[in-house]
Chains A and B, each alone.
Chain A
Amino acid sequence: MAPKSILKTPTVSTNAPLSSSTKPVTQRQRNTAIYHANIISQQKNVENEVLEAILTLLDFPASPDADPSRPSAPDALRFQELIMPFQPSDYDSLLEERNLNGSCGYALCPRPKRRAPSTARKHFRDTTKGVEIVDKKMLEVWCSDDCARRALYVKVQLNEEPAWIRQGGASEKIELMVDNAEEHHNALPLRLKRETAKATPKILHDDEDDAAAAWAARDDALADLAIERGEKPGRLSKANKDLITAQIKERVGNAPPVPPSLPSQTMGPSHMAIEGHIPGSAGRAVPVSDEEEDDDTQDWDKHLPG
């Protein structure tokens, strides 16, 4: 007979498959795991999407004689679509990659980037605030100040939030700074640049109305689609509702709030109060308490026998 071990006999041998040794997972644990796994996979998809978009935008625009101020409608639309999942940092990467490629940072501009006046690492630059010392790289990002303005106009509209946690991402639309907004109408009208609208308000007025109508129609259609998908308006479409079980109740006050006030120290015999109650003899001076005292005496009389 083999010697008996003094150690506790383990219920599960160490070589047994892992699943049997762990506690049975509850449905809630499983839901949580799936929820987080979904988030990670969404994140990965978005990152890949951004990478693909940057690869495409590297060789943008297709034709070498495209004009950044008047991009063709398909180019502009494609750019707007591709830029949608970007964060500002992704946009910076796009600029970096395009510059490494030797082209202007603005994706709708086919021209090469500007060359700095010399190969020195730092350069002087005159600004309104005086002379600034800037990196050579900073000077060589754009082909012109105009392009810089256009590109940064796009950048400030990008959402800081990463695309995988954005809510209802389809609703937002990136505007471009373009001079030929009319040509983009057939695809989807761009919201017009304000300066041009101001300069020639009469001619553009009808166009503007058309654009607004088209946008409204598109928004309506998107809302219809969302309802068709079974979403409620204003709800995150991919949210897992199972994990949120708590009911949130707002405490709403029905009376307007009143600031607290101190009992007046000067008038009334507050110094006589014993835990807020003013004994009878002293209370007579105050008219309000006076009535109460009278009531009390009447009541007292009523209950007297006889």
Chain B
Amino acid sequence: MDSGETYSASLIRLWRVYRTTKEMCYDRGYDVAEEDMKLTLQDFAARYMREDGEPDRSKIHFSAIPSEAMMKKYTPIPTAKDPDPTPQIGTIWVEFNADENVGLKQLRDYMQHLVNGAYYSGVMVCTKAMTGMALRLLRGSSSLAEGPKGGVEVFVEQDLLVNITKHELVPKHVLLSSEEKKQLLVRYRLKETQLPRIQVTDPVAKYLGLRRGQVVKIIRKSETAGRYASYRWAI
């Protein structure tokens, strides 16, 4: 803190991206060390700076395992056919891609890596937006046999510079488990199609990694009621 050392702009940028990524994993429910989220710039530089002052992206990749609570949340309701369902979540692999442009080849290599490492899902953070064809592959990847089970998410560094959920105007989003979702529908005598919706491409939905069909509870401040909860069905 006291040192007058100045760091390169790209290092500071990546430090902020790194912290937001860690916070994102924590907010989703993965086990993330407290000190990782609060990593100072000095420590970050000490760990990941190359000699020329630029960050070394190949060292920053990390994996995270889901916490107990998250496992529970992602476990579907047991049925007669499947009395002991497996949780729909697993280890996540976060990679910071150093390439200037990410195309089909990089994305395919990344998917291959996820499958080889037996990761359930993956997050790729790239410096610039991907090519159009890579986006097309990504869109179809959930149905693709070669990709990982939990799918791949791609973020641009630009979007992770700031943690959007910390903004004053962004209300709290809480993901409901399938059990909670069922109770909600019974309580209000609704079908899920009658809920308000949220797109999975919504910034907060992307941050939380929502999947189609999940329900989030949104808790806002209200002048009259104190707190006001509403529910959104991710589509």
- Which residues of A are interface residues toward B (Cβ below 8 A)? 15, 18, 47-48, 51, 54-55, 58, 93-94, 96-97, 100-101
Residue of A nearest to B102 (CB): A100
Residues B80-129 near A (CB distance < 8 A): 101, 103-106, 108
- Return 14 A-B CB contacts under 8 Å, by A number: A18-B193, A48-B140, A51-B136, A54-B133, A58-B104, A93-B133, A96-B103, A96-B131, A97-B104, A100-B101, A100-B103, A100-B104, A101-B103, A101-B105
A55 touches B104 (CB 8 A): yes
Residue interface mask B131-142, A partner, CB < 8 A = 1: 111001100100
In the complex, whether B189 has a CB less than 8 A from a CB of chain A is yes
Of the listed residues A15, A51, A100, the one surrounded by the most CB atoms of chain B closer than 10 A to its CB is A100
Number of chain B residues whose Cβ lies closer than 8 Å to a Cβ of chain A: 15
Residues of B within 8 A of A101 (CB): 103, 105
B contact residues around A94 at 8 Å (CB)? 133
Q: A15-B189, A97-B133, A100-B105 are in contact. List 7 more A-B contacts (CB 8 A).
A: A15-B191, A18-B193, A51-B137, A96-B103, A96-B131, A96-B133, A100-B101
Main SS class of interface, B: helix
Which listed residue, B131, B140, B189, B193, touches A97 by the CB 8 Å rule? Answer: B131
Q: What 10 pairs across the A-B complex have the smallest Cβ distances? A: A100-B103, A93-B133, A97-B103, A97-B104, A100-B101, A101-B105, A51-B136, A96-B131, A93-B132, A54-B133
Q: How far is the CB of B210 from chain A (nearest CB, A)?
A: 23
Separation of A55 and B136 alpha carbons in the complex (Å) = 12
Question: From A100, which residue of chain B is reached at the shortest CB distance?
Answer: B103
Q: Which of the residues B131, B189, B191 comes within 8 Å of A100, measured between beta carbons? A: B131
* Chain A interface main SS type: helix
Once A and B bind, how many residue pairs between them come within 8 Å at the CB atom? Answer: 35
Q: Find A51's partner among B101, B103, B133, B191 (CB 8 Å cutoff).
A: B133
Contacts of A55 in B (CB 8 A): 104, 108
In angstroms, Cα B131 to Cα A93, docked, is: 8
In the assembled complex, the Cα of A93 lies from the Cα of B104 at a distance in Å of 10
Nearest-CB residue, chain B, relative to A17: B191
Tell me, in angstroms, the Cα distance from A51 to B101 when the chains sit together. Answer: 18
Q: Please name the residue on chain A nearest to B103 by beta carbon.
A: A100
Interface residues of B in 125-161 (CB under 8 A from A): 131-133, 136-137, 140
How many angstroms between the C-alpha atoms of A93 and B137 in the bound complex? 13
Closest B residue to A94 by beta carbon equals B133
B193 surroundings in chain A (CB, below 8 A): 18
Q: Tell me which residues across on chain A come within 8 A of B136, comparing CB atoms.
A: 47, 51
* Docked-complex contact B105 and A58, CB < 8 angstroms: yes
Q: CA separation between A96 and B105, bound complex, in Å? A: 11
Q: Report the separation of the CA atoms of residues A55 and B191 in the bound assembly, to the nearest whole angstrom.
A: 42
Once bound together, how far apart are the Cα atoms of A154 and B44, in whole Å?
51
Whether B140 lies near A54 (C-beta < 8 A) is no
For B101, the chain A residues whose CB sits under 8 A away are: 100
Q: Which residue of A lies closest to B134 (CB)?
A: A97
Specify which chain A residues have a CB less than 8 angstroms from the CB of B105 in the assembled complex. 58, 97, 100-101
CA distance A93 to B191 in the complex (A): 43
Q: Which residues of A contact B131 (CB under 8 A)?
A: 93, 96-97, 100
Complex Cα gap A97–B107 (Å): 11
Q: Which residues of A contact B137 (CB under 8 A)?
A: 51
The residue of chain B having its C-beta at the shortest distance from the C-beta of A89 within the complex is B132
Interchain CA distance A58-B104 in the complex, whole Å:
9
Cα distance A94–B134 when bound, in Å? 11
Give the distance in Å from the alpha carbon of A94 to the alpha carbon of B105 in the complex.
Answer: 12
Q: Which residue of B lies closest to A96 (CB)?
A: B131
Contact partners of B103 in chain A: CB under 8 A: 96-97, 100-101
Shortest Cβ distance from A31 into chain B, in angstroms?
25
Bitwise interface map of B from 187 to 204 toward A, beta carbon under 8 Å scored 1, else 0: 001010100000000000
